[in-house]
């Protein structure tokens, strides 16, 4: 499995206040979108999220987002290595993802840029 990079997940109270700091820090503009009632801004290696407490409480359980070449391959390697697949793989607006709990109890999101045909 090729790991292409990782994104730090940050839950913030006010996305509009947080974004300018991270844009300056990362040196580029935020890519914004909405998902399940949560406002999201992707800025460099940071994924800022703001929304209802109930949604953020769930999102806080995921330690990081890991970009991979192929989510299906990640699924296979994770399963063979003893991880528990919590959700997915499923299609998202930007590709596919899955949520996995590693044997140590940490939870990660794995994403690729592939679209389903």
**Cβ partners under 8 Å of residue 82, min gap 6:** 103
The residues near 104 (Cβ < 8 Å, ≥ 6 apart) are none
pLDDT tens figures, 46-68: 999 999 998 998 889 999 999 99
pLDDT tens profile 2-43: 899 999 999 999 999 999 999 999 999 999 988 888 999 999
pLDDT value of residue 92? 79
C-beta of residue 89 within 8 angstroms of C-beta of residue 71: yes
**pLDDT at residue 117, rounded to an integer:** 52
- Per-residue pLDDT reduced to its tens digit, 86-96: 998 998 777 89
């Amino acid at each position: 499995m090729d790991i292409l990079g990782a994104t730090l997940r940050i839950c913030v109270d006010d996305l509009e206040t947080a974004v300018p700091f991270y844009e300056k820090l990362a040196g580029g503009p935020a890519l914004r979108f909405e998902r399940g009632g949560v406002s999201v801004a992707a800025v460099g290696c940071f994924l800022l999220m703001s929304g209802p407490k109930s949604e953020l409480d769930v999102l806080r359980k995921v330690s990081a987002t890991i970009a991979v070449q192929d989510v299906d391959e990640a699924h296979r390697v994770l399963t063979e290595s003893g991880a528990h697949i919590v959700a997915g793989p499923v299609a998202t607006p930007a590709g596919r993802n899955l949520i996995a709990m590693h044997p140590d109890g940490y939870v990660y999101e794995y994403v690729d840029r592939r679209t389903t045909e």
